[in-house]
Structure 1
Amino acid sequence: MEQSSDVNYPELTEKIKLWGKELGFAKVGICEPDLTGEEPALQQWLDNHYHGDMDYMARHGMMRARANELLPGTLRVISARMDYLPGNAKFAKILKQRDHAYVSRYALGRDYHKLLRQRLKQLGERIKQYCASLNFRPFVDSAPVLERPLAAKAGLGWIGKHSLLLDQDAGSWFFLGELLVDIPLPIDEPLPEKCGSCVACIKICPTDAIVAPYVVDARRCISYLTIELRTAIPQEFRSLMGNRIYGCDDCQLICPWNRFANLSAEADFQPRQNLDEITLLDLFSWDENTFDKNLQGSPIRRIGYECWQRNLAVALGNAKPSDEIISALENRYPDTTPMVQEHIEWALKQQRASVQAVEVGLRNKERLVRSIEKGLPRDA
């Protein structure tokens, strides 16, 4: 072990990046922790109530831009990213199959929080073996940290107009984690922003949640509505959600830079329980015990069974008209909570209206055929 005064920090920095890759991180960067320049935009976002019911956002306030308040003495942030896109991701195929469930691609496998935090902790322990005086603390969505601005400062990418981090060699299909340290490592240079005049992510958003470049109103975002919101989903957004039952990837799917995204080699991020190709009715048939058992270790489990049923009910309302769907909704109605019942009622109204429209269309078609037949000559 070396004492801090004896450490060759440039050499240590190279080792850290090598160790990061050995631990499964696609890229590691280093920056100093000051984000005071982000505070006005953060305060404006909070003042506009764009955080919705995520009270912790306002509660932590400007601490999100002050990493040294989380670990006193912090001199550097080691930011790391890990690819999560599974092979054969089946994006458009599932979105077009209205009777199937679309789960955000990051949530198909095991919960990433524990895996990334363990890897970051291992990285910190390796550094400590080299530098005995080190104090460190890992974070993966577990503290009020502005991870994307930190990652951008550390040279891992730039923040796109959808507010996600982008890299020209990897797109945006990756997780981020941070390791706060109290040693003066050399810092990396930020990358130039390369979105240019592209506004594809803004235009594709089903609910117009990207209210301005780099600004997302969470209250309109399908990811917020299906994951963070614990009350009824506003009716204005239900029909726009389609078959998305947990999260939404549209702004990433449309992004040209994601043509260069890398597939994940992590077994934990591969789809479980057939979640990448499963019908809404299959999932709606799960009781609470099945939900808990099948989604053990999944990030989906944290929304709870009630919100799971709520999301599925909305998606079933948006599915193609089906007597089987109507029957499933009617059968579930008496045995669930008032909030879920509200969404089932909405779904039944949608389904019945669709069935009626189909029936009217068929009758009109039959009348048209008969009228044409009446006008044909006898020997036709």
Structure 2
Amino acid sequence: MLHKGRAFLTSLGITIGIASVVMVVSIGSGAQSLITNQITSLGTNLISVLPGGRFDDGPPVAMMGITVTTLKLEDAEAINDPVNVPNVIAACAYVKGAVTVNAGGEAVDSFANGVSYTYTDVESAVISDGRFFTEQEQNGIEKVVVLGATVAEEVFNGVDPIGQTVKINREPFTVIGVLEKRGAVAFQDRDDQVFIPVTVAQKIIFGLDYINLIRVKIDSGDNLERAKSDIEATIRARHDIRDPKDDDFMAESIATLVGMFTAITGVLKFFLTAIAAISLVIGGVGIMNIMLVAVTERTREIGLRKALGAQKRRILEQFLFEAIVVTLLGGAAGIIIGVAVSALVALAVRSLGYDWSFAISGTAIFIAFSVSCAVGVVFGYYPAKKAANLNPIEALRHE
């Protein structure tokens, strides 16, 4: 039999490869399911307008982390006009960025959403205390703020925040409301945010003349396509675009964005799995090397067995069996480690308040075992064949 220490070290490559594949499939599926469910929970009658087009029918430019400045606040206001989009309930502009919120010496890092006064209508957000800001406050660039539930708790420690002053990036704001707890969407804690008029965010906090996003709520999911066409026509008219190929924006329903995200994560999972598979190849080469060493060390044993009448097939089967056993043991260890790590990740994410689903595909485990066996056969065949073809006389002379 093989030397135990060598066999263990050699099977590590197989273990790491199989564990990586199991983790990529499990964690990737969990993340995909989580974000898809969270985005869908925003509503089926929403249309998102993103700045910039897309890469050759691929993902939107804005979703690739590239800053695009083509959307303006006036675009959102035009979409919010029923004359332009008859099926609109409300349209909300967004400007987002990281900020520091300070009140009475309590400073916390947070995320500022510069939004339109229509935010609560579009996002179905509920005010737990106070109120949301008005159109007049938005147009007047008044420094008022609505706090997310987490920010209110961290900054004011149970004290009623309404009417209090907080500083956002050193600018004083008056707290006029607090939102109810809403949890996270797409790994962003919506309770750990502050909401200020979009005009204030543009002119005072971030110094921008553009917006990052427009989200539009339509009266019915059945009217999405009609509303999408009206939105596109409205922005094209404002941007003086005559050919749709020249669009400097993109309007998509939530369902379409979910499909895009699923496609992107699918490609990512494929490449991560391919990278993990490299460990299997490396492990396979290690199996082949250790089997060749074993053949060399056991040359006299092989010669003796053949001299006593052992057939080539039996010698080949023995060494092939040993190679398969090593890879299967490594594969089994990899599956156990992969499942355990995936379960720990699921528990950790759930502890943060996310509804993460832990799922291990039986098909994935079957494939992992099959791949382990295949690696043993493919990389163990050459050493086994070499052992089977040894000349018994020369083998017995081997020192």
* Common fold by TM > 0.5: no
User: Larger % of strand: which?
Assistant: 2
The structure number with the bigger radius of gyration is 2
How does the TM-score come out when normalised to structure 2? 0.28
- The higher relative CO (CA closer than 8 Å, separation ≥ 6) is in 2
User: Larger % of helix: which?
Assistant: 2
How does the TM-score come out when normalised to structure 1? 0.29
